[in-house]
Structure 1
Amino acid sequence: MTEADAGVQDAIVIGGGPAGLFAAWRLAVGGAGVTLLETGGDMRASLCGKVTARMQGRNVRPAEKFRLQCQRCDCLTGLGGAAFHFDTNLGYVQGLSRTKVEHDGKGGFRTYSGLERALGDFDRAARAVADAYEVMYRFGLPPARAEGHDPKEPGGRPGRAGFVLADEAFSQAITVDDALTVVDNLLADALAHGLRLRLGARAERVRRRADGTWQVSAGGADLLARNVVVAVGKLGLRFVRSVLDDNAVAYRPSSRVDLGVRLEAPREIVAPLTASCHNPKLTYLNEQGEPVRTFCVCEGGRMMQYAFLDTVVLDGQHCLTTPTQRTNFGIVTTIDVPAGGDGSEYALDFARRVNAAGAGGPVVQPLLELLGRGRVPQPPGSSLVQAIQGDLAASLGPQRVADIAGMVDRMEDLTPGLVGPATVVAAPVVERLFPAVELSDDLQSSAAGLYFAGDCSSKIIGVTYGAATGVVTAESILR
């Protein structure tokens, strides 16, 4: 920077999750002047008070990990983002997989990777994932390699038992303990290279000035930069909308969203599904041609619920260090939103409808009762805290119930007993509901110098994908 513009940094990164952390680190080590803004605090300060993580023999939190849950999780901000605040799955270690399916318009279907489409090229996306892993290994993630796996071979393959696609590509999990190590070391390296870190600083407004630079208002201060990387997670939906509208960024309402439920069953029933891959992805196409797929398999895990805008939605926890006797996973349908509709509002309305049936929260129901295949005199309960037992069919609608039936009936061949009295269904689950932002292959918007990385790019979700997009945006700025 010259003396004339000493107050103008090269970049401001908004959000300290995987995408924001990796973007800020890459910018700092590349010699850029960069500030990272994070609404929450340090990762340790942001961890749930009911979580224990051990590092170098010291307790970070004086409570047992995952023994209890809050009715509403409010620990989803802070360095590391929601992803690293719980044991989680990072995704593919070697070889990017094409796990998404869609009609090809010629009577068949094609497979693709969301990251491949975001970055414009499959090989480029695969390299970005590999690079993200190498950074995590460098900063303390214990390497996990799959013997015999060809890194050039996509994991997606034709399905079985009625599935269009079955993906059992090797992936890697990470515990909170290891996430703390990675985040600590990555952040220390970034700070040593000049990163400015501001915790407890909620970005309130981003606007482009007449001279082409960007002004970010946060915590009562105005910061100036040539570039801004927006890397907020799902909870930042309202903020992202304001940034798009304030700066006339080219976008359209999302036309596709993922809606669905989570299933939970005794771990021994689901064991055949996870025997060779702890996060298998199974997909079929419903009668409307919409993909129905498994999502986020949490073997030995718990379901969790968190506040999202004016509603409550569900997710899964990977309880790797203290597993439970249950396994849960999502079943989501990629919905084509009715013409003229706004996918974000469509998804929120779905969640609100389910919440209304649950007196303001999620609803749980035995699978057999949801499918109309019998009564369960003694419902088996679930890992959710204070969930309402109710009739989900009316709020899900007949098509979503049919999608669930189609999935579990196909899975029954792989996991005998899944369609039985011990399995419960919980809702709502909503994903991929950010507006569809027009982005370059470097994730730059139509407003020069404004980038969107990670979940809020509307292109991808996931820890490793998020980290990869963060690095891509940073390298574009450095060029």
Structure 2
Amino acid sequence: MNDDLLDAVVVGGGPAGLFAAWRLAVGGARVALVEAGGGMRQSLCPRVTARVRGQTVRPAEKFRLQCERCDCLTGLGGAAFHFDTNLGYVQGLSRSKIETDGHGGVRSYSGLERVFGDFARAARAVDDVYRLMYGFGLPRVGGTALRAEQQAVPATAPFALADQAASQAITVDDALGMVDALTREAVDHGMRLYLGRRVDDVTDAPQGFTVRLADGSGALTTRSVVLAVGKLGLDWLRPLLQRLGVAHRPSRKVDVGVRLETDRDIAAPLTASCHNPKLTFINERDEPVRTFCVCEGGRIMQYEFAGTVVLDGQHCLTSPTQRTNFGIVSTVAVPETQDGTDHGIDFARRVNMAGAGLPVVQPLVELLGRGRVDAPVHSSLIRAAYTDLAAALGPQRVADIEGMVDRLAAILPDIVGPRTVVAAPVVEKVYPEIELSADMASNRPGLYFAGDCSSKIIGVTYGAATGLAAADAILRG
């Protein structure tokens, strides 16, 4: 391995890391991308096999079966592109989140707007990401395929915010072609690509940093480092922040909750004109409670995280199911004496303990104390415990679920019925709060954070936008 000085090393090959490395390479920087997993084809689920020629994933094998616990979340493309997913905001950025303003009112904002400090800059960044993805082969869609804002959520629906910004989906097939094209161009411009290499540590060096690879497989010296390790890098990154003296503090807020799953036809009025409606109300503690990651015709998946098991939604665009699921998450403001990261992990562990190490599923009517379901409980989770969730969630989270469901009943009259279940735990945005500039730079000169591990945002387009911002800052010197 060459040990000459690089301009930048990008750690992590998800959307944030890929776009950062590409922008650096085509901008003339000497850059290396280090990814713990393999190439995208090699790191796909064994049940999702790509044809040798072309980019097509065999539909007959795609989502017929599901592993009880997903471990195919590393590799080029990251967790986001290893399954069909939703990109969001194809016709323009919106302020899709709300919070109390401290004066009895509510204000809306965009997470990316908060990162960049300017809504116009955030909107341009999202446009730039789409322009690049189209250039790398993402098919353009238009008209009704975008499901732009129409009449899905009545104006009288009892939400503080009902955001229906048009979004675009992407299949694994299309992601394969896009990631291949992006990676190929970056390599053609000199990017060094290290696959199947975990980073053991990042340490100080006379001219910047030394990025040490695991198992004694070498080291890279570089002026700058972009860390884009995603959600699964939490356990590795937390002590690294301490060792490098990165300015940060315990997170004061964390998203915790459940996934609600019902029959696709029951949820149809919600998804009729928008892929991913974002509906929010403020609970009695002034905490936002919102829908999150709507997966029409999808599945619920589980994976290991920080020594526990958590859930996410899986889009099944190529081979849809007869079920729809979405998150109901509360942005919990933790007390000053607590660490939001630990609060989120502890929440997941309580649920896992109730399920004897498994996620827990319960009929919605039983969780809310509105009846019993004698028929077999139907869930897309392959392996889960079917038991009472209320004690593990706590009364406030149950109240939040009930508040969301009662509001949704104005749109989905059959949502509270025997076919609707609640699955837990869901935990999001659990990184410590890292002090970053609008260019994703930390207090350590040359050290940048992008994507989930920035602690600021989650999502494909947001992640890619932050990766590009970090790369641009490095190129400017």
The whole-number CA distance in structure 2 between the counterparts of 1:322 and 1:63 is: 8
Displacement of 1:242? 2.1
Q: How does 1:1-400 map to 2 (within 5 A)?
A: 7-53=4-50, 64-146=61-143, 160-209=156-205, 211-219=206-214, 220=216, 221-400=218-397
1:296-350 CA deviation, whole Å, 9 max, x = no partner? 0000000000011210000011100000000000000000011121111110000
Verify the 8 A CA contact 1:54 1:177 in the aligned structure 2. Answer: no
Give the TM-score, by structure 1 length: 0.95
3-state secondary structure, aligned to 1:190: helix
3-state secondary structure, aligned to 2:343: helix
* Structure 1 alignment gaps of length 5 or more: none
3-state secondary structure, aligned to 1:50: coil
User: Which one of 464, 467, 477 corresponds to residue 467 of structure 1?
Assistant: 464
Counterpart amino acid of 2:352?
Answer: N
Deviates more, 1:140-149 or 1:34-43: 140-149
Displacement of 1:222? 1.4
The whole-number CA distance in structure 2 between the counterparts of 1:55 and 1:286 is: 52
Verify the 8 A CA contact 2:41 2:50 in the aligned structure 1. Answer: no
* Structure 2 alignment gaps of length 5 or more: none
Verify the 8 A CA contact 1:12 1:35 in the aligned structure 2. Answer: yes
3-state secondary structure, aligned to 1:36: strand
The whole-number CA distance in structure 1 between the counterparts of 2:131 and 2:464 is: 11
The whole-number CA distance in structure 2 between the counterparts of 1:332 and 1:55 is: 40
The whole-number CA distance in structure 2 between the counterparts of 1:203 and 1:281 is: 36
**Cα gap change, 1:159/1:226 in structure 2, threshold over 3 Å: closer, same or farther?**
farther
The whole-number CA distance in structure 2 between the counterparts of 1:63 and 1:268 is: 24
The whole-number CA distance in structure 1 between the counterparts of 2:254 and 2:296 is: 25
1:95-140 CA deviation, whole Å, 9 max, x = no partner? 1111111011111010001100101110000000000000000000
Counterpart amino acid of 2:411?
Answer: L
The whole-number CA distance in structure 1 between the counterparts of 2:294 and 2:247 is: 35
**Cα gap change, 1:124/1:382 in structure 2, threshold over 3 Å: closer, same or farther?**
same
1:45-80 CA deviation, whole Å, 9 max, x = no partner? 000011144586576569611111111100000000
3-state secondary structure, aligned to 1:92: coil
CA RMSD of aligned residues (A): 1.9
The whole-number CA distance in structure 2 between the counterparts of 1:393 and 1:379 is: 20
Verify the 8 A CA contact 1:52 1:62 in the aligned structure 2. Answer: no
The whole-number CA distance in structure 1 between the counterparts of 2:276 and 2:368 is: 25
Displacement of 1:83? 0.3
Q: Among all aligned residue pairs of Structure 1 and Structure 2, give the percentage whose two residues are the same amino acid.
A: 67
User: Which one of 446, 470, 474 corresponds to residue 477 of structure 1?
Assistant: 474
3-state secondary structure, aligned to 2:461: helix
Verify the 8 A CA contact 2:258 2:424 in the aligned structure 1. Answer: yes
Displacement of 1:146? 4.6
The whole-number CA distance in structure 2 between the counterparts of 1:464 and 1:207 is: 30
Verify the 8 A CA contact 1:17 1:233 in the aligned structure 2. Answer: yes
**Cα gap change, 1:58/1:169 in structure 2, threshold over 3 Å: closer, same or farther?**
closer
Verify the 8 A CA contact 2:72 2:79 in the aligned structure 1. Answer: yes
**Cα gap change, 1:172/1:378 in structure 2, threshold over 3 Å: closer, same or farther?**
same
Counterpart amino acid of 2:172?
Answer: V
**Cα gap change, 1:44/1:57 in structure 2, threshold over 3 Å: closer, same or farther?**
closer
Displacement of 1:202? 0.4
Counterpart amino acid of 1:454?
Answer: G
3-state secondary structure, aligned to 2:24: helix
**Cα gap change, 1:339/1:279 in structure 2, threshold over 3 Å: closer, same or farther?**
same
Verify the 8 A CA contact 1:160 1:166 in the aligned structure 2. Answer: no
3-state secondary structure, aligned to 2:129: helix
Deviates more, 1:31-40 or 1:54-63: 54-63
The 4+ residue runs of structure 1 with deviation greater than 3 A are 52-63, 145-149, 157-160
Verify the 8 A CA contact 2:360 2:424 in the aligned structure 1. Answer: yes
Deviates more, 1:32-41 or 1:338-347: 338-347
Displacement of 1:238? 1.3
